[in-house]
Structure 1
Amino acid sequence: MSGMTTAERRGYQQICEAGGAMMVIACDQRGGMRSLLASSPQEQAAISNETLGETKADITRHLASQAGCVLVDPICAVPGLVDDNILPRDTALLIGLDASGWDMSPEGYRISRMVEGVTARRVRELGGTGGKIMVYLRMDRPEANVENLETLRQSIKDFAREDFLLVVEFLTYQLEGESREDYAAKLPSLVVEGVRACLDLGAKVLKIPYPGSAEACARVTEIAGDVPWAVLSAGVDHGMFLGQVEVAMQSGASGVIAGRSLWKDCISLDRDVSREKLSGIAVPRLREIQAIIRRCHRARP
Structure 2
Amino acid sequence: MITYRLDAHPGKARGLKAITTDGLLSIAALDHRRSFAALYGGTLGYRGVRTLKRRLIDAFAGQASGVLLDPNYGILLDDGHTGLIVTLEAPGHTVHNGVPESALLDGWTVGKAKRIGAAGVKLLLHLDPRTESIFKVEYPGPELVGEIDGIIGAPWAMLSGGADFDVFEAALRRACAAGCSGFVAGRSVWQEIKQLPDTARRDAFIDSTAVKRFASLTSIVHKAATSVWSKVRVEDDLDVDWHHRYGEAAR
Q: Same fold (TM over 0.5)?
A: yes
**TM-score, normalised to structure 1's length?**
0.68
* 1:284 aligned partner: 212
Write out aligned runs for 1:250-269 (5 A): 250-266=177-193, 268-269=196-197
Equivalent-residue separation in structure 1 for 2:225 and 2:137 (angstroms): 18
Three-state SS of the structure 1 residue aligned to 2:31 is coil
Equivalent-residue separation in structure 2 for 1:103 and 1:235 (angstroms): 17
Equivalent-residue separation in structure 2 for 1:55 and 1:31 (angstroms): 14
| Cα distance change on mapping 1:298 and 1:229 into 2, 3 Å | closer
- Which of 59, 71, 80 is the equivalent residue of 1:62? 59
Q: Percent identity?
A: 26
Equivalent-residue separation in structure 2 for 1:34 and 1:69 (angstroms): 23
CA positional deviation for 1:114: 1.9
CA positional deviation for 1:272: 3.2
* 1:113 aligned partner: 103
RMSD: 2.4
Number of positions where the alignment pairs a residue of Structure 1 with one of Structure 2? 223
The answer as to whether partners of 1:25 and 1:69 remain within 8 angstroms in 2 is yes
| Cα distance change on mapping 1:55 and 1:293 into 2, 3 Å | same
Write out aligned runs for 1:46-195 (5 A): 46-79=43-76, 81=77, 87-103=78-94, 110-135=100-125, 137=126, 194=127
Equivalent-residue separation in structure 1 for 2:100 and 2:123 (angstroms): 15
CA positional deviation for 1:92: 0.9
The answer as to whether partners of 1:209 and 1:231 remain within 8 angstroms in 2 is yes
CA positional deviation for 1:53: 1.2
1:233 aligns with 2:160: yes
CA positional deviation for 1:58: 0.6
**TM-score, normalised to structure 2's length?**
0.80
Three-state SS of the structure 1 residue aligned to 2:86 is strand
* 1:23 aligned partner: 26
Gaps of 5+ in 2: 231-251
Three-state SS of the structure 2 residue aligned to 1:52 is helix
Deviations 1:271-292 (A, max 9, x none): 4333221111101111111121
- Which of 140, 150, 164 is the equivalent residue of 1:222? 150
The code of the aligned residue for 1:3 comes to D
| Cα distance change on mapping 1:286 and 1:115 into 2, 3 Å | same
1:294 aligns with 2:218: no
Gaps of 5+ in 1: 82-86, 138-193
